[in-house]
């Protein structure tokens, strides 16, 4: 299992994402992921599954030091109830503190300083070990770094069909990592001929190739989500092979499509 070093913090490079997983499914799959060997679980307030994730962790029997836990504050909680919302998340997750707390999206109207200050405050109160952001453009990353110098990651959509080189370059400049959500383009990697050809050569599938490509990049973490127990194990089975430099470049070339899948109306302007 590979780790990523980010701003003096060690983060497991392959995590299990829980977006769209609910109730017993979330509980079962989180427990399965920890059993398989994942040491990083990712959730969020707006996923409405923190309680199920907490139950899955408990069911796994893993000790608190055996996993890295991330959750995210939804922007409706950026005002007066920021700390209360984090306290509620901890209660649902059945932990005293998360390892990483993220601002889920930059607020379209509130000043950045307003909620970054609150993020730093809950860290100082011991509710999270580390802090970060999500869906921040390079410009917003630099602004956030001035307000909170100990940020460790920016979680963004990143897969073979989307060019995130400017985000990654900015992260390197700041000493951050980049965490890739939707790392298999919500299943679209399964339809790609380049990934299929490389997968056949290595005796793997296209999903495993896409995840391996991400993890071979400096400072990149991936958090694939699946609703299948079999795929939980398959997605973890990427540490017994390596992509060549040529194969890495072939996959990088796919980003010319610049295909963004997650782009809600409140998203920041990515036209840089």
What are the tens digits of pLDDT across the range 52-77?
A: 999 999 999 999 999 999 999 999 99
Query: Which of 63, 138, 133 is closest to 101 using CA atoms?
Result: 133
Check residue 79 and give its pLDDT: 87
Question: Residue ranges of the alpha helices (H) in the chain?
Answer: 23-36, 50-60, 82-93, 112-124, 138-147, 165-174, 193-202, 206-215, 229-236, 245-252
Alpha carbon of residue 252 to chain centroid: 20
Place of tokens 């991936």: 222
Check residue 80 and give its pLDDT: 85
Place of tokens 């939980």: 232
Establish whether 115 is a catalytic residue: no
The C-alpha atoms of residue 96 and residue 21 are separated, in whole angstroms, by 23
User: Can you say whether residue 150 is alpha, beta or left, with left for phi > 0 and alpha for psi between -120 and 50 degrees?
Assistant: alpha
Inter-CA distances, 162 with 80, 187, 225, 260, 263, Å: 36, 14, 18, 6, 13
What are the tens digits of pLDDT across the range 212-242?
A: 999 999 999 999 999 999 999 999 999 999 9
Check residue 121 and give its pLDDT: 97
- Positions of the chain with pLDDT lower than 70, given as ranges: 272
The structural domains of the chain, ordered by start, are 3-256 (3.20.20.100)
Residues in the chain: 272
Which residue of the set 47, 115, 158, 181 is catalytic?
47
The C-alpha atoms of residue 127 and residue 78 are separated, in whole angstroms, by 16
Check residue 271 and give its pLDDT: 80
Check residue 13 and give its pLDDT: 98
Answering whether pTM is above 0.75, one says yes
Q: Are 77 and 85 in contact (CB under 8 A)?
A: yes
């Amino acid at each position: 299992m590979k780790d990523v070093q980010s701003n003096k913090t060690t983060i497991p490079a392959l995590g299990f994402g829980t977006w769209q997983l609910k109730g017993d499914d979330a509980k079962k799959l989180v427990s399965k992921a920890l059993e398989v060997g994942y040491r990083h679980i990712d959730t969020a307030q707006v996923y409405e599954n923190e309680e199920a994730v907490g139950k899955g962790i408990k069911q796994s029997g893993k000790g608190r030091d055996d996993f890295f836990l991330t959750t995210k504050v939804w922007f409706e909680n950026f005002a007066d109830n920021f700390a209360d919302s984090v306290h509620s998340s901890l209660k649902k997750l059945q932990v005293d503190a998360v390892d990483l707390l993220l601002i889920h999206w930059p607020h379209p109207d509130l000043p950045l300083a307003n909620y970054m200050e609150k993020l730093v405050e809950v860290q100082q109160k011991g509710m999270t070990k580390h802090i970060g952001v999500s869906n921040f453009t390079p410009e917003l990353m630099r602004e956030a770094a001035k307000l909170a110098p100990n940020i460790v990651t920016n979680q963004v959509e990143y897969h073979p069909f989307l060019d995130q080189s400017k985000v990654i370059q900015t992260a390197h400049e700041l000493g951050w990592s980049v965490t890739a959500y939707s790392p298999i383009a919500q299943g679209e990697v399964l339809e790609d001929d380049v990934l299929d050809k490389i997968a056949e050569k290595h005796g793997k599938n296209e999903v495993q190739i896409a995840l391996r490509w991400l993890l071979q990049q400096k400072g990149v973490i991936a958090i694939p989500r699946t609703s299948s127990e079999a795929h939980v194990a398959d997605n973890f089975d990427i540490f017994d092979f390596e992509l060549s430099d040529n194969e890495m470049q072939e996959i990088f070339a796919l980003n010319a499509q610049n295909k963004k899948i997650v782009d809600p109306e409140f998203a920041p302007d990515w036209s840089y």
